[in-house]
A and B are shown apart, each in its own frame.
Chain A
């Protein structure tokens, strides 16, 4: 069965520090991959997506992610975190018109 693993449940970083959130997937074909962010009590906002082509994709709010087929990974990165980035981050893979989500990573940012 298709699955998505986010190994880090909770990450704490200082404002201005770099960030990398890990995501590993299990999928038989070429995956469609997504990163979403959820602020408390809110819905999901799309940060970026990967369908094909360039394996380094740029998203909104200064985020980027790199698709590595050999490692079945799609890690999310940001060079300098802002306090407003504190939220829950979800990685997801599209499995024939439905999304399979990881368990999420909660990001806490200290000033």
Chain B
């Protein structure tokens, strides 16, 4: 398995501001994934981040709103930009080891 650390674990933000979420993995991985879980909903993939290239975004998600960095094989950040209350969700980082996806503990974001 993998140890995946996410920071912050939770935050309350004002609308119009931005929040950057960090994800650190204890082993080198090719791809890192960012998911969103809206209140009472299931998880939806936002984007896939490979080291050294631009992230690949799923339909309905754009780079201007959710910029992602992937500076090395153990770290990634997701920024939620120009936040609105609709962005209130849990954001989870995920990696695959041996074809098995593992998840961080998530960042619970509330936007006022």
Partner of A94, one of B10, B35, B44, B99: B99
Whether A90 touches B42, Cβ cut-off 8 Å, given contacts A51-B99, A97-B96, is yes
B interface residues, how many (CB within 8 angstroms): 26
What is the total number of residues of chain A having a CB less than 8 Å from a CB of chain B? 21
Shortest distance from the beta carbon of A40 to any chain B beta carbon, whole Å: 10
Interface residues of chain B: helix, strand, loop or mixed (majority)? strand
Closest to A49 in B: B100
Given A42-B105, A43-B105, A43-B106, decide whether A103 and B42 contact each other with a Cβ distance below 8 A.
yes
Q: How far is the CB of B95 from chain A (nearest CB, A)?
A: 11
8 intermolecular pairs with C-beta atoms under 8 Å apart: A34-B100, A41-B10, A43-B6, A44-B43, A46-B1, A49-B100, A97-B48, A99-B94
A: which residues have CB within 8 A of B? 32, 34, 36, 41-46, 49, 51, 90, 92, 94, 97-99, 101-104
Q: Which 4 A-B pairs have the closest CB atoms?
A: A43-B105, A44-B103, A101-B42, A43-B106
